[in-house]
Amino acid sequence: MKCRKMMLGIGVGMCVLLFTSAFSLAIEPGKLLMETVDKGFIVLKNPSLGGVEKTQERRQALWKEISFVFNFEEMSKRALGQHWKKRSSEEKKEFVELFTNILKDAYIGKTDTYNGEKIVLLREKQDSEYAVVQTKFVTKNGTEIAVDYSMLNNGGEWKIYDVVIEGVSMINNYRSQFYNILLKSPYETLVKRMKEKKTEGETATAAK
């Protein structure tokens, strides 16, 4: 009887394997990610959008191509952690907007110095709800940076909720910051500082 159970188990195991392979044929987070990355690179390589004077235009075009793959609400929720639930729905909406802007400035800003860097897909791992896509960012001088994308299945659509660079989770990093601010000061202070950050980012881009 025990033996039978075991064999049944193996059978079930094989089925699960089959399911997962069939399942990954349907939607593949890694493929989605790499397609988005390629779309982004097309914008960055576009000669008509090159140069310092086209910075704003290029950033906007790039943002249009890639922003859909991020789940900003999920990111905000995770970055605020236990404080998320205490916020009203308007506050949540405002926070998502502020946080999205910070992330946008941080990551779109980095593409200004694009110079033939590459992104290589290494591995991906997924279950029905979560996926991790491991990639390698290779700079022109050959430096390799490990970048992992954590993705969440939103009703059939995979979206990024965290980016982990050399072991540093972006969301954990912001959560540490938010937590530390909220430990000493009220939520309003955090919002104020995020708004300051936003204007700071705008002046920085305007200065360029």
Q: What is the 3-state secondary structure (H, E, C) of 158-169?
A: EEEEEEEECCEE
Choice from 22, 52, 206, 207 touching other proteins (CB under 8 A) = 22
Choice from 142, 199, 206, 207 touching other proteins (CB under 8 A) = 142
Q: Give the Cβ contact number of residue 201 at 10 Å.
A: 16
Return the DSSP state at 121.
E
| Spatial distance between the Cα atoms of 171 and 176, rounded to a whole number of angstroms | 9
| Spatial distance between the Cα atoms of 122 and 56, rounded to a whole number of angstroms | 32
Nearer to other proteins, 64 or 125 (CB): 125
Sole window of 18-26, 30-38, 43-51, 61-69 interacting with other proteins (rule: CB under 8 A):
18-26
Question: Which 28-67 residues touch other proteins, going by CB under 8 A?
Answer: none
The number of helix segments (H) and strand segments (E) in the chain equals 7, 5
On whether the CB atoms of residues 22 and 8 are closer than 8 A, the answer is: no
Helix, strand, or coil here: 100?
A: helix
Measure Cα distances from 70 to 3, 51, 101 in Å: 47, 27, 13
Nearer to other proteins, 7 or 120 (CB): 7
Sole window of 37-45, 46-54, 56-64, 170-178 interacting with other proteins (rule: CB under 8 A):
170-178
Question: Which 172-191 residues touch other proteins, going by CB under 8 A?
Answer: 172-181, 183, 190
CB of 176 to other proteins, least distance (A): 4
**135 is an interface residue for other proteins by CB under 8 A:** no
Return the DSSP state at 185.
S
Nearer to other proteins, 85 or 90 (CB): 85
* Those residues with Cβ within 8 angstroms of residue 103's Cβ, 6 or more apart along the chain or in another chain: 70, 72, 75, 170
Choice from 45, 110, 118, 208 touching other proteins (CB under 8 A) = 110
Binding mask 69-108 for other proteins (x = CB under 8 A): --------xx--xx-xxx---------------xx-xxx-
Sole window of 20-28, 32-40, 47-55, 61-69 interacting with other proteins (rule: CB under 8 A):
20-28
